[in-house]
Structure 1
Amino acid sequence: MEHTQLLCNISELNHLFRENISIEYLLERIVDLICSHMQTSVCSIYLYEQSNKTLTLRASHGLSPESINKVSLKLGEGITGTALKEMRAISVHKASSDPRYKHFASINEEQYDNFLAVPIHRGIERIGAIVLQRVKKKKFTENDILACRAVSSQLANMIENVRFIMDIHEQHANTAAETKSVEKVIRGRSAAKGFAVSELEIYDQDRDFKRYKKLSYDKQFTIKDYHRAIKATANQLKTLQKKVEERLNDAAAMIFTSHLMILQDKAFTGEIEKLISEGINPPVAMIKVAQKYIDIFSQADNNFVREKVQDVEDLSVRIIKNIIREKEESLELRGKIVAARDLFPSELLRLSSEEVSGIILVSGGVTSHLSILARSLQVPMVIANDPAIMQVDEGTQVLLDADSGNIYFSPEEEIILEFERRNKERLAVSAAGREVKPQTYTSDGTRITILANINLLSDLKQARDVKCEGIGLYRTEFPFIIRSDFPSEQEQYITYKRLIDGVGDKPVIFRTLDVGGDKVLSYYHDAKEMNPAIGLRSIRFSLQNIEVFEDQIKAILRAGSNGDIGIMFPMISSLEEFETARAIVEECKEQLKKRGEEHISNPKIGLMLELPSLVEIIDDVVKESDFISIGTNDFIQFMVGVDRTNEKVSDFYIPHHPAVMRSLKRIVETADKHGKPVSMCGSMAGDKAFLPFLLGIGMRTLSISPSYIPEAQSVIEKIDISRAQKLADDICRTPRIAEIAKLLKIDHTPDSVE
């Protein structure tokens, strides 16, 4: 257990305390963090009131939400009250049989027999207590007790401040109505463009499961009701899966497979049937068995297994709804605007398949893989760093303007009508459409090649519609990210062959697996890292997982047997790394030759230039590679030392930093000198503000999102190369960021995000 990391994370919560967030959310974050790192089923925080010598439950991960602010103990009462009274940690293996144990009905803690209570105090002043609970088989160790003591000590001052503020809130509760701390309009950041007006739905699977756990099922259902519900649930899941497949066309997008496998598990369904045969009401039997599996999965060391908790919760809720014949409308998220703290790619796919009209994400970065996936799925998404959104009443009408990043809560009718009018005009213009030309030229006749970035096979249609000249970047990681295990060579071959067949005789550049950083494979056992942005990611991951890498390379070589393809390695940091990866391609060709498999014999081999370490050896890099593609998203973040997914430092992520601009010019000039193709596939390539500069330094090939191609072509057709060259020279002589921004006629935030 990473108790040291837990202490670091707890200290980071001090930053949250200084921000404009609710006290409830801060306490929720604390218990969630402790639960995750200590691998406990339950973590609760009790706060102590000196005036009446009472401990009150203020936050809990694992107990019924209804118990918050309702469960209380006198000082010295129960194990928790005793721990605080005696100012010592108390660990009990069989809590329910301990004479100090205090039972509370309806908070669902009976199954957690391992109990650890640690006082929170500052000197002799009692502040509260942390309580950890686990299932029978997992006792608390001495290390657990020491870690929890350290955490309680670190939390003491913060909790004291929290208690003070909560006391103030309670003193005013009777004199002022409680209001939600969310503004009428919130300015977020556009992650996937679009527009939606609908009711708000808070997406929280854990909360949904808890809601059905605490329901009292007055009607007695039968085994027939259960069997009918199982069949109905299976049909619903198959329908959802079919929708996903139709939307994505990727063979690897089997996101509901685990649900269906659990349904087919005789141990799972048999245990429920056994309880029903013993007279237990089917919904209650379903919850009991589901909770057992949730407890088992949540204690697992493997990240992938722990994430199955969400599958069990989602599946259980679906079955219960079908048992009690809850109206079909309540099963649907169709047309709703969904707010979520965070989402896994599989959850985003699930929401897309259920046809939500838009998503508000309360965490994350606009350049993250989740944003890219939302754009491929054409689901409008805004990222707004405001946790108060999660407290807004469900059913509140919301206008989501994902073009600008604005979110309007309970908007006036005039605002809705104005946005609807604007969007009708856009649709009319789009329908009439400016014809996208098959080739792009500047105003003075210089030829510019525009390629498309593809994330999923579903992007192909749009790429063809805008007449892209090929695929400059196929992000092969998305079929890996959206499934629950590594795809086989054959599964990858099917997807890659469909891509190549879909573009005909046009070129396709495959970027090999680019995972790590913000693109985590939940099923990879070493996925968790202290600093993932500079950890085991991209080509480093592939070279440490040779079998996975070879499967992918062989699939690409086979699929490209009759195509014009290139293979590009991401995050190359040295010549040796590139040469090692290229040698593996040669080995794979030999293996395919021995197998008698048809494959391409001479693919172009290039690299993604994303690390500043290559700039100083750019001559040698260009000589060794067949082509180079500049990935500006990572290149910029490493050049200026900014985590591009961290909202707190987003203002320092500056594409027009002079070091970035001069490095880009040097890279392009070096490639031209050696006669090697160079392109750009990062966000700058799709940003109209940077196009004059890029063409001015000699960039002649751009690879961008298909949706940006019409506007990019329109901008390029107005650019005169000689003027662009002068602008580029002026920019590269300028040492100050603000002066460069003035030359580019931009503020410090780029217009578009790739």
Structure 2
Amino acid sequence: MRGALGGPRVLLRRLREVMAEPVSAQERLDKIVVLIAANMVAEVCSVYVLRVDGTLELYATEGLNRQAVHLTVMRSDEGLVGLVATEASAINLSDAQAHPAFSYRPETGEEIYRSFLGVPILRAGNTLGVLVVQNRARRTYSEEEVEALQTTAMVLAEMIASGELLSLAKPGAEPAVRRPVHVSGAALTDAIALGHVVLHEPRVVITNFIADDVQKELRRLSAAIETLRAELDLMLESGEVAESGEHRDVLEAYRMFAHDRGWVHKLEEAVLTGLTAEAAVERVQSDTRARMLRQTDPYLRERLHDFDDLAHRLQRQLLGYDHAPTRDKLPEHAILVARSMGPAALLDYDRNRLRGLVLEEGGPNSHVAIVARALGIAAVGEVPNATGLADPGDGIIVDGVTGDVHIRPTPDMEAAYVERVRLRARRQLQYLSLRDKPSVTKDGQPVTLMINAGLPVDLPHLAETGAAGIGLFRTELQFMVAAQFPRTSEQLSLYRNVLDAAGGRPVVFRTLDIGGDKVLPYMRNYEEENPALGWRAIRLGLDRPGLLRSQVRAMLRAAAGRELRIMFPMVATVQEFDDAKGLVERELTHLRRHGHRLPERVEVGTMMEVPSLLFQLDELFDRVDFLSVGSNDLLQFMFAADRGNARVANRFDPLSVPVLRALRLIVERGRAHGKPVTLCGELASKPIGALALIAIGFRSFSVLPSSVGPVKAMLLDLDAGKAERLVSGLMGLPLGTASIRAKLTAFAEDEGLTL
């Protein structure tokens, strides 16, 4: 049934006039409900707003008792209005009072109205309120009327989100769009940050919702969809995407959605109601997001990301935005919020202003988490719908210790966290007092504590922590932050500065570990089915010897007259190590022939990350000068559990008997061959992990700079012999009780160790 004023387009034009009038928020809402009621020939039109306390408050009405405005409040799961809010979908009834969810409120005077149409007021899939029309006569509202009400609700959503209604609310009963939100995820770093939200992929800001020329908007939409389809076709057919693999599957899914007639039809229908093309995309996507967020099927929820990406790309196409937002203009104390992110993308941001990171995806062992720890920023992963809950500029607290994220925190919550940060700072001062103390256990066992590094910003940590050196310098980070391939002279300068900063303390340079999720933007990326197991690290270096040789040459020249330690990543066979070491020998010969000053001593070692080396240990120790255990990769390969996949990354405990048996074997064979063995993975960066490792024989660790203090404080109070006797007994446990974490925790409590 078409309204007397000519349908949704006329209604939207009239709404635009009302939105532009210089009137109070309440007067604007009152005019809006009158307009909607008249347009739809409805006797009642009401707006309910979801409040911070989770209730729905009547903010405006035409047809019900106006004395009930701001007095009628109901639970968000109460009545038909609550059902619309909870389900985030329209309810269209010819006899509302016969519905089991109907709730009678005598103060409103609505008992005489039978027909009911309610639609959720949605923004980014989140319910902000409910818009309702009612009639005395029993009738079912037409699809056009439902569409008109949904379109109008979108305009109301922007009005609520703008904060215009805050002046109408009592303290503690403000609109929920600005309510404090607490969500939990996976703790990624041992740090806490307070700051303001910056979206890694900023939402498209729509300034014009109402179309002047519907046919023109349809043409704009059609052209943008065709361009989007052409771009996706080009990406899939250009040869830059492998014939198979996860990335291609994602693009194929995008292309399938982009060609879906149902999706396009919904967009066209939204435009026909009077919206601009970009507003139509926003409305359809918000409806889709609201439905999919409430799905229990994990596959369907994952497809939400595909729809989000596609809608975002289409909106940017319509408005002519670049797909890559600028990242060099961060506010002070910026907290990035993203669906997912690779380590290279994180390193693009100004690290002087970046304080934290919140991800919808990304587990504790993902590479982006490792880089976040290296940067010393607070980070939490696996936070559902983080990008839909936070708006740019929102206050936010990121607790990387517990995995808690507080968006728009209350003053009390903020004050509590400020105090926590102060306490942590005082604890760091206590650790600082240990800086110059020898790193020796209570029973006289020396333990070498070094730090992991990869950027110039890490170098001051050597002096701050009193570390014995740099046990792992990740050379790939220089390549990841550069806009183009670093010249040999640039590499040489960095390596020389690192050695200078070390001041005679040892530095272990790991050659390029790129590939997998560490992609260089200026190198062609070969899509692979299993990138973590693919063409990366030493495999890439040996296949591209020019790349590896230029890096080794820069290291050798930087270390002129000094000791140099070079380490190769992801070596799987003794032959690979021989080939890589032979390349170092050739570079030494080259420099010697050309009269360059050589290092005083060159030691060459390898990372122990691939389980195949467990069965080549004697042959390997005959060749290497030292060995470093990369526990992050070693454990994911041992358990066939992708450390970046939240579903499987936590299916095993690193402090389990199989892990400790393998690690003990490595350190025992190293001792038998007289070769030093260091563990430089995340396992050693927590006191309980370091305790277990000391107990099985490790005496050298390379850890996060922030972990030196806690690990050192623990080992100074540790009786290593007593721990070794405990763990030796536990190593014989049946594998049904594989983890020894609880036993170690109890031991630490009995011994007064701080974990």
TM over 0.5: yes
CA offset digits 1:532-552 (Å, max 9, x no partner): 111111111111111001111
Q: Which residue of 2 aligns with 1:509?
A: 508
Q: 1:213 to 1:577 in 2, by over 3 A?
A: farther
Q: Which residue of 1 aligns with 2:199?
A: 202
Q: Which residue of 2 aligns with 1:658?
A: 657
Q: Whole-Å Cα distance in 1 between the matches of residues 509 and 447 of structure 2?
A: 21
Q: 1:349 to 1:513 in 2, by over 3 A?
A: closer
Q: Which residue of 2 aligns with 1:744?
A: 744
**More off after superposition, 377-386 vs 172-181:** 172-181
Q: State whether structure 2 residue 418 is matched by structure 1 residue 474.
A: no
Q: State whether structure 2 residue 279 is matched by structure 1 residue 333.
A: no
Q: 1:369 aligns with which of 367, 370, 391?
A: 367
Q: Which residue of 2 aligns with 1:460?
A: 459
Q: 1:170 aligns with which of 72, 81, 90?
A: 90
Equivalent AA in structure 2 for residue 180 of structure 1: N
The answer to whether the 8 A contact 1:372-1:455 is kept is no
Q: Whole-Å Cα distance in 1 between the matches of residues 636 and 377 of structure 2?
A: 27
Q: 1:475 to 1:546 in 2, by over 3 A?
A: same
The answer to whether the 8 A contact 2:456-2:498 is kept is yes
1:595 CA drift (Å): 2.5
Equivalent AA in structure 2 for residue 203 of structure 1: H
Q: 1:732 to 1:515 in 2, by over 3 A?
A: same
Q: 1:418 aligns with which of 404, 416, 419?
A: 416
Q: Which runs of 5+ in 1 are unaligned?
A: 1-164, 217-286, 323-329, 748-754
The answer to whether the 8 A contact 2:340-2:359 is kept is yes
Q: Which residue of 2 aligns with 1:360?
A: 358
1:732 CA drift (Å): 1.7
1:458 CA drift (Å): 0.9
Q: 1:484 to 1:697 in 2, by over 3 A?
A: same
Equivalent AA in structure 1 for residue 635 of structure 2: I
TM-score by length of structure 2 reads: 0.60
The answer to whether the 8 A contact 1:192-1:375 is kept is yes
Secondary structure at the counterpart of residue 366 of structure 1: coil
Question: Counterparts in 2 of 1:6-25, with a 5 A limit?
Answer: none
Q: Whole-Å Cα distance in 1 between the matches of residues 541 and 383 of structure 2?
A: 34
1:331 CA drift (Å): 6.6
1:526 CA drift (Å): 4.0
Q: Which residue of 2 aligns with 1:697?
A: 696
Q: 1:525 to 1:609 in 2, by over 3 A?
A: same
Pairwise CA RMSD of aligned residues? 4.0
Q: Whole-Å Cα distance in 1 between the matches of residues 374 and 351 of structure 2?
A: 13
Q: Whole-Å Cα distance in 2 between the matches of residues 402 and 552 of structure 1?
A: 35
The answer to whether the 8 A contact 1:573-1:614 is kept is yes
Number of residue pairs matched by the alignment: 499
Q: Which residue of 2 aligns with 1:74?
A: none
Q: Whole-Å Cα distance in 2 between the matches of residues 408 and 586 of structure 1?
A: 54
1:429 CA drift (Å): 4.0
1:345 CA drift (Å): 4.2
Q: 1:443 to 1:166 in 2, by over 3 A?
A: closer
The answer to whether the 8 A contact 2:380-2:400 is kept is yes
Secondary structure at the counterpart of residue 689 of structure 1: helix
Q: Which residue of 2 aligns with 1:191?
A: 188
The answer to whether the 8 A contact 1:510-1:567 is kept is yes
Q: Which residue of 2 aligns with 1:139?
A: none
1:591 CA drift (Å): 1.5
Q: Whole-Å Cα distance in 1 between the matches of residues 569 and 482 of structure 2?
A: 21
Q: Whole-Å Cα distance in 2 between the matches of residues 367 and 502 of structure 1?
A: 29
Q: State whether structure 2 residue 615 is matched by structure 1 residue 669.
A: no
Q: 1:533 to 1:554 in 2, by over 3 A?
A: same
Q: Which residue of 2 aligns with 1:638?
A: 637
Q: 1:607 to 1:746 in 2, by over 3 A?
A: farther
The answer to whether the 8 A contact 2:89-2:120 is kept is no
Q: Whole-Å Cα distance in 2 between the matches of residues 295 and 739 of structure 1?
A: 47
Secondary structure at the counterpart of residue 126 of structure 2: coil
The answer to whether the 8 A contact 1:346-1:483 is kept is no
Secondary structure at the counterpart of residue 399 of structure 1: strand
**More off after superposition, 560-569 vs 404-413:** 404-413
Secondary structure at the counterpart of residue 447 of structure 2: strand
1:746 CA drift (Å): 8.3
Equivalent AA in structure 2 for residue 734 of structure 1: L
Equivalent AA in structure 2 for residue 699 of structure 1: F
Q: Which runs of 5+ in 2 are unaligned?
A: 1-84, 93-116, 128-178, 212-223, 243-247, 249-311, 748-755
The answer to whether the 8 A contact 1:639-1:659 is kept is no
CA offset digits 1:321-365 (Å, max 9, x no partner): 99xxxxxxx975333433112335454244335724422122223
Secondary structure at the counterpart of residue 617 of structure 2: helix
Equivalent AA in structure 1 for residue 421 of structure 2: N
1:741 CA drift (Å): 2.7
1:377 CA drift (Å): 3.1
Equivalent AA in structure 2 for residue 185 of structure 1: H
Q: Whole-Å Cα distance in 2 between the matches of residues 563 and 746 of structure 1?
A: 46
CA offset digits 1:178-200 (Å, max 9, x no partner): 57389932212233343333443
Q: State whether structure 2 residue 555 is matched by structure 1 residue 556.
A: yes
Q: 1:654 to 1:183 in 2, by over 3 A?
A: farther
CA offset digits 1:434-463 (Å, max 9, x no partner): 331253000011111111111212111012
Q: 1:388 to 1:337 in 2, by over 3 A?
A: closer
Equivalent AA in structure 1 for residue 413 of structure 2: I
Question: Counterparts in 2 of 1:258-657, with a 5 A limit?
Answer: 301-302=239-240, 333-345=331-343, 347-353=345-351, 355-387=353-385, 389-431=387-429, 433-600=432-599, 602-657=601-656
Q: 1:609 to 1:295 in 2, by over 3 A?
A: closer
Q: Which residue of 2 aligns with 1:81?
A: none
Q: Whole-Å Cα distance in 1 between the matches of residues 662 and 615 of structure 2?
A: 9
Q: 1:540 to 1:183 in 2, by over 3 A?
A: farther
Secondary structure at the counterpart of residue 473 of structure 2: strand
1:739 CA drift (Å): 5.1
**More off after superposition, 388-397 vs 704-713:** 388-397
Q: Whole-Å Cα distance in 2 between the matches of residues 434 and 740 of structure 1?
A: 32
1:303 CA drift (Å): 7.8
Q: Whole-Å Cα distance in 2 between the matches of residues 345 and 693 of structure 1?
A: 29
The answer to whether the 8 A contact 1:688-1:715 is kept is yes
Secondary structure at the counterpart of residue 422 of structure 1: helix
Equivalent AA in structure 2 for residue 196 of structure 1: A
Q: Whole-Å Cα distance in 2 between the matches of residues 332 and 550 of structure 1?
A: 37
Q: 1:430 to 1:451 in 2, by over 3 A?
A: closer
The answer to whether the 8 A contact 2:339-2:387 is kept is no
Secondary structure at the counterpart of residue 468 of structure 1: coil
Q: Whole-Å Cα distance in 1 between the matches of residues 334 and 486 of structure 2?
A: 33
Q: 1:626 to 1:431 in 2, by over 3 A?
A: closer
TM-score by length of structure 1 reads: 0.60
The answer to whether the 8 A contact 1:303-1:522 is kept is no
1:475 CA drift (Å): 0.8
**More off after superposition, 532-541 vs 690-699:** 690-699
Equivalent AA in structure 1 for residue 185 of structure 2: G
Equivalent AA in structure 1 for residue 118 of structure 2: N
CA offset digits 1:473-531 (Å, max 9, x no partner): 11111112222333222221111111001111111111111112222223332432110
The answer to whether the 8 A contact 1:440-1:713 is kept is yes
Secondary structure at the counterpart of residue 648 of structure 1: coil
1:588 CA drift (Å): 1.0
1:392 CA drift (Å): 3.9
The answer to whether the 8 A contact 2:695-2:720 is kept is yes
Q: Whole-Å Cα distance in 1 between the matches of residues 207 and 600 of structure 2?
A: 58
Q: 1:386 to 1:436 in 2, by over 3 A?
A: same
Q: Whole-Å Cα distance in 1 between the matches of residues 638 and 335 of structure 2?
A: 37
Q: 1:180 aligns with which of 107, 113, 126?
A: 126
CA offset digits 1:41-70 (Å, max 9, x no partner): xxxxxxxxxxxxxxxxxxxxxxxxxxxxxx
Secondary structure at the counterpart of residue 459 of structure 2: helix
Q: 1:527 to 1:562 in 2, by over 3 A?
A: farther
Identity, in percent, stands at: 29
